[in-house]
A and B are shown apart, each in its own frame.
Chain A
Amino acid sequence: MIRVKQGDLDKLAVLYERYSRILFGFFFKVTLNSQASEDLVQTVFFKIIKYRERYRAEEGSFVTWMFRIAHNANIDHYHSLERSRNEVRIDETDVRSDEDTDDDFLKKERSRRIKEALGLLTGEQREVLILSRYQGLKYEEIAEILRCRVGTVKARVFRAMEKLRRVYRQLEER
C-alpha cells in the first residue's frame, strides 16, 4: 500500500489480487447479495485510489484501514437502500440439484438457513458479527474500524450472536 501511496498504481493490482475475494466474501455475508457485493468491492478500491494519500502505515494496518473504508461503503449502501425503500435481497442460489448427495443437501440446507437467519439481523449486527470472524481481526481493530469502544464491540457481537441463535432456532422449528 505504501508503494500505491507513493504513486505506483500498478501495485494496486497486487492488493486487489490479495483482498478482493476477502472483501467480496465479507460484503456478501453482510448484504447477502452478490451484485451489491461486487459493486461494494469496486467502491472500496475506488476509495483506496482516491484517498491513498491519507493512508498512514504508522496509525494501523492496511487491513484495518481497508475495512474502515468497507464499513463506510456499507453504511452508504444501507442508506441508499433506505432511500429507495428496498429491502435486503437475498440471493436464492441454494437449490438442490440431482447430483447432490444427502450430505450435500444437508450442508446446503444449513447454509440456506444460516443465510436466512443472518438476513433477519440488522445490517449493523451482521457487520459486527462477520468482522469478528474475519482476517483474525481483534476487538481493538474492530473498534477502530467502527469508530467505537472495545466494550461496545463486545456488546454488539454478543447481542448479534444471541439474536442469530434465536432466529436460527425459530427457523429450525418452523
Chain B
Amino acid sequence: MRKQKDPKRLAEYESLLRAVDEMDVPEPSAEMGRKFQALLEEAKKARFQEDRATVRRPSPFFNLRFGLLPRLAAILSLVIVGWFLGYQVTPRPERARIDFLASEVREMKKTVMLAMLENSSAAERMKAVQGAQDLTGLDESVLDALTRTVNNDPNVGVRLMAVNALAHYAASPKVREALIRSIVRQKSPLVQLALADVMLALNEKRAVEPIRRIIASPLVDYSVKGKLEAAVRELL
C-alpha cells in the first residue's frame, strides 16, 4: 500500500478512474425494453394462473387427481379386483386338494371320536359325544355309535348327552326309529324322561306304546310314572 501514498501515482489513479467513469457507454436498444415488457407480462400471467389455481384448488382429500379419497378408492378397487382374479385364477385341482384335506380332517376327527366312545373314562366319552355334535354332516357310523351309546353306555350322563346329540338329527327316520326303540331299553328314570321329552318335541305318536310299557313296569319310579303318563296324554 506504500504506492498509494505516492501523490503522482494517486493522481494517476484518479485520472484513470475518471476515465472509467466517463467511458462512453452506448444506449441500450429499444429491444431490451420490449424484452423486459414481455418478461413482465409472462410473469404476471403466471402469477394470475397461480392465484386462480390456489382459489379453485379443492380440499386435497377430494382432489380428483391427487386427493386421498380417489387414491383410497383406487387401492380398494385394486384389492377387490386382485382378490377376485386370484380366486378365479386359483387352479381347480388346488380347490379339490383343499376339499380333500378338509374331508381328511373330518375323517380324522370322526375316528378320534369313535375311539373316545370306547374309552373307559366317562368324561372322555362325554367329550366324544360333544365332538360328535360338532361334526358337520353326520354319517351312518357316527349315528350308529351314538345309538349304541344311548342304549349301552354304563354312565347315565353319557347316555343323556347321546340322547340330546341324536335329537339334533331326529329329522332322519332312522334316528327317530332308533330313539323310539331305545325307550324300552332304558332303566334310568332320567334317560326315560329325556327320551319322553324328545318324543313330545317331535310329536312322535309311535312312542306312546313303548312309553306305556315302561309305565306298566312294576319297577318304574312313582314320580317318573306320573310324568310319562302326562307325556302319553299329550302325544295322544
Contacts and interface: CB of A to CB of B under 8 A. Distances in A.
Interface of A: 7, 9-10, 12-13, 16, 20-21, 24-25, 28-29, 34, 37-38, 41-42, 45-46, 49, 91, 93-94, 107-108, 110-111, 114-115, 118, 129-130, 133, 158, 161-162, 164-165, 168
Contact of A161 (B13, B28, B47): B13
A118 B24 contact: no
A111 B40 CA distance: 35
Contacts of A162: 3
A20 to B, nearest CB: 7
A111 B18 CA distance: 10
Contacts of B40: 9, 12-13, 16, 49
Given A20-B28, A20-B32, A168-B16, A49 B21 contact: no
Interface of B is mostly: helix
Given A41-B32, A45-B39, A28 B25 contact: yes
Interface of A is mostly: helix
A91 B23 contact: no
A94 B19 CA distance: 15
Contacts of A28: 25-26
Contact of B26 (A9, A34, A49, A118): A34
B29 A111 contact: no
A133 B20 contact: yes
B39 A41 contact: no
Given A110-B19, A161-B16, A38 B32 contact: yes
